């Protein structure tokens, strides 16, 4: 019912923003501006979930390319024992490339923390915090190609253009700070679906992610489109005042749409300050920079993304995605490239998790880590692995999930998810549930039917809940 009303409102009314005093707007924004609540008629205003939420916001750390589960978190002693032997069962009906025999991981595994979670030597920093993590070892998806798999992970469909996960979340919950976009994606990929991985598709445009740069932009330079111009602040203020006066001169009482537009110029003016303020990492201590690895060349780029993510989350942004761009696709050079990739993200991710925890943000922030699929335990060439949507590992942290827990399992070699399988649709249902949203009720009518993030699938994995 609530959502139905929201739909009605979106359709029939223009945005009417709560009135805001001009003096307010000129106040310089501090590093992380306090959430600014807005009027009830705004379709992006915060909304009550369907049931009490465990998490209020999401930070999704996306590893584009497909990290190998058997080289990171899914320890398979039998794969080591049977290195070089043929796979003793059939390979999937549809594969992306030809592969050979079993290939053991070139990385050493050790158990860590109280939980005794196995982590390979690729992630020494993340390994220290495994007791905060909730691993899903039995992830699986439907598509063996990057494009399909990326789209399925981000939108629930590997075939058609559908609203992205973050769009659904923002549609369901609104956002807590209207001086900032409700859903941001930092340095998103331009390929394998590009914008469609964060678009709102047929949901209203306000639920689309605001991209900060793209995969080709250094994160230090990534920002919101059109947020910087050539006009000085003083001149711009004169122009905005003139614009508002001329617009109001012609406005009649019934003009919701035109009044909404006048307000949106003020919001844009605030956003021009607020976005760069959140992105300005110079206000953070040297210690924090170090924690995220911003002081080191290898980790600087992703470290900045992670620190920005924390600042956006803190400032009330509902859904933040960081993308470690298309690097994890090791059809060959597995040892060298997985080592480099892991080095770039290990410290920043560990830094983000401990910083969130330290600030008390982890309890209601759901952190998600993973790629679009895993990799085969059988070799492609001598030192590579092919795409594998049949098994991969993701981990969650904070936001009401069990800490120091591992869910599901793959077969002896890590080729197929075997126990307590979690499909991407199930993950989506679970994420929405943690945010207080019922994936069956979060719907939008379009082209003759009610659409959901989970389409006709999805089961909430309650075992993950703390």
Partner 1 sequence: MRIGFLSAVLMLFWVTCANTPVASAAPPDATAHFEKKVRPVLVEKCVSCHGPDKQKGGLRVDSRAALLAGGERGAALVPRKPAESLLLHALAHDGELKMPPKNKLPAAEIAAIKEWVQSGAPWPDSGATTSPPKSGERVFTPEEKAFWAFQPGKRPPVPKVADPGSRVANPIDAFLLAKLSGTGLSLAAPADRRTLLRRLTFDLTGLPPTSAEVESFLADETPKAYEKVVERLLASPAYGEKWGRRWLDVARYADSNGMDENLAYVNAWRYRDYVIKSFNVDKPYDQFVREQIAGDLLPDSTGAERADRLTATGFLVIGPKMLAEDDPVKMRMDILDEQLDTLGQAFMGLTLGCARCHDHKFDPITAKDYYALAGIFYSTKTMRNHTVVASWNERPIGTPQSAAGLAEYEKKVTVAKATLATARSPAAAAVAGFAVAPLVANLREKLAAIEKARPPAAESMAVEDAKGENLRVHLRGNHLTLGVEAPRAFPRIFASGTQLSLGSDRSGRREFAEWLTRPEHPLTARVMVNRIWAGHFGAGLVRSVDNFGRLGERPTHPELLDWLASEFVSVKWSVKHMHRLIVTSAAYQMSSTTEPAALLKDPDNRLLSHFSRRRLDAEEIRDGMLAVSGLLDPTAGGSLLKANPRQYVTGTGSRNYDSYAHNRRSVYLPVIRSAVYDVFQTLDFPDPSVTNGQRTATTIPTQSLFMLNSSLADQTAEAFAKSILLVKGDDTDRVRGAYRRAFGRSPTAREEARVLAYLRNSEEAADPKLTAEGNRLRVWRGLCRVLLASNEFVFVE
Site for partner 1 in 255-274 (CB under 8 A): 257-258, 260-262, 264-265, 267-269, 271-272
Contact 324, 344 (CB under 8 A): yes
Q: How many residues bind partner 1 (CB under 8 A)?
A: 86
Interface of this chain with partner 1, residues 405 to 424, rule: CB under 8 A: 418-421
- 242 binds partner 1, rule: CB under 8 A: yes
DSSP-derived letter for residue 281 is G
Interface of this chain with partner 1, residues 326 to 385, rule: CB under 8 A: 326
Binding string to partner 1 for residues 302 to 331, with x set by CB under 8 A, is what? -----------------------xx-----
- 254 binds partner 1, rule: CB under 8 A: yes
Residue 135 or residue 269: which is nearer to partner 1 going by CB?
Answer: 269
Contact 391, 421 (CB under 8 A): no
Length of the chain counted residue by residue = 466
Q: What's the closest the beta carbon of residue 262 comes to partner 1, in angstroms? A: 7
Residue 121 or residue 455: which is nearer to partner 1 going by CB?
Answer: 455
Question: How far, in Å, CA of 441 to CA of 424, rounded?
Answer: 18
- Encode 86-124 in three state secondary structure: CCCCCCCCCCCCCCCCECCCCCCEEEECCCCEEEECCCH
% helix / strand / coil in the chain, to the nearest 5?
35, 15, 45
- 226 binds partner 1, rule: CB under 8 A: yes
Residue 43 or residue 113: which is nearer to partner 1 going by CB?
Answer: 43
Quick one: tokens of 462? 């309650």
Contact 338, 329 (CB under 8 A): no
Question: How far, in Å, CA of 45 to CA of 36, rounded?
Answer: 10
Q: What's the closest the beta carbon of residue 194 comes to partner 1, in angstroms? A: 3
Interface of this chain with partner 1, residues 107 to 146, rule: CB under 8 A: 143-146
Q: Which of 19, 52, 225, 360 binds partner 1 (CB under 8 A)?
A: 225
Alpha carbon 213 to chain centroid, angstroms: 15
Interface of this chain with partner 1, residues 42 to 101, rule: CB under 8 A: 93-96
Q: What's the closest the beta carbon of residue 178 comes to partner 1, in angstroms? A: 8
Query: Could you tell me if residue 280 is left (phi over 0), alpha (psi between -120 and 50 degrees) or otherwise beta?
Result: beta
Quick one: tokens of 43? 């379709």
Q: What's the closest the beta carbon of residue 298 comes to partner 1, in angstroms? A: 18
């Amino acid at each position: 019912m609530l959502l139905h009303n929201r739909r009605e409102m979106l359709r029939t009314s223009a945005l009417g923003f709560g009135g805001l005093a001009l003096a307010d707007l000129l106040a310089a924004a501090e590093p992380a501006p306090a959430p600014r609540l807005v009027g009830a008629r705004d379709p992006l205003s915060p909304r009550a979930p369907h049931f009490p939420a465990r998490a209020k916001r999401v930070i999704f750390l996306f590893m584009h390319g497909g990290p190998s589960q058997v080289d990171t978190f899914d320890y398979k002693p039998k794969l080591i024992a049977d290195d070089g032997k043929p796979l003793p069962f059939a390979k999937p009906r549809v594969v992306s490339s030809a592969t050979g025999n079993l290939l053991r991981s070139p990385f050493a595994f050790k158990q860590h923390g109280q939980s005794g979670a196995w982590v390979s030597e690729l992630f020494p920093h993340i390994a220290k915090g495994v007791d905060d993590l909730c691993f899903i070892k039995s992830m699986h998806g439907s598509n063996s190609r990057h494009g399909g798999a990326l789209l399925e992970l981000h939108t629930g469909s590997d075939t058609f253009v559908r609203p992205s996960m973050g769009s659904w979340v923002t549609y369901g919950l609104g956002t807590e700070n209207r001086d900032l976009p409700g859903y941001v994606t930092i340095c998103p990929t331009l390929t394998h679906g590009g914008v469609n991985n964060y678009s709102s598709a047929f949901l209203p445009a306000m639920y689309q992610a605001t991209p900060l740069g793209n995969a080709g932009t250094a994160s230090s330079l990534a920002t919101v489109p059109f947020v910087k111009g050539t006009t000085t602040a003083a001149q711009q203020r004169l122009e905005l005042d003139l614009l508002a006066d001329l617009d109001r001169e012609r406005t009649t009482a019934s003009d919701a749409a035109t009044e909404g537009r006048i307000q949106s110029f003020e919001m844009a003016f605030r956003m021009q300050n607020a976005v760069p303020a959140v992105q300005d990492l110079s206000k953070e201590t040297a210690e924090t920079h170090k924690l995220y690895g911003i002081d080191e060349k290898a980790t600087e780029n992703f470290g900045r993304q992670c620190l920005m993510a924390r600042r956006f989350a803190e400032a009330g942004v509902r859904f933040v995605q960081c993308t470690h761009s298309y690097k994890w696709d090791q059809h060959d050079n597995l040892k060298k490239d997985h080592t480099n990739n892991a080095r770039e993200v290990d410290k920043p991710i560990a830094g983000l998790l401990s910083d969130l925890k330290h600030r008390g943000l982890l309890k209601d922030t759901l952190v998600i880590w993973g790629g679009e699929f895993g990799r085969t335990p059988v070799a492609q060439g001598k030192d590579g692995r092919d795409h594998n949507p049949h098994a991969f590992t993701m981990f969650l942290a904070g936001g009401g999930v069990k800490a120091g827990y591992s869910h599901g399992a793959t077969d002896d070699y890590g080729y197929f998810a075997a126990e307590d399988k979690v499909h991407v649709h199930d993950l989506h249902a679970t994420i929405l549930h943690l945010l207080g949203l019922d994936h069956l009720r979060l719907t939008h009518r379009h082209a003759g039917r009610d659409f959901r993030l989970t389409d006709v699938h999805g089961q909430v994995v309650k075992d993950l809940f703390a």
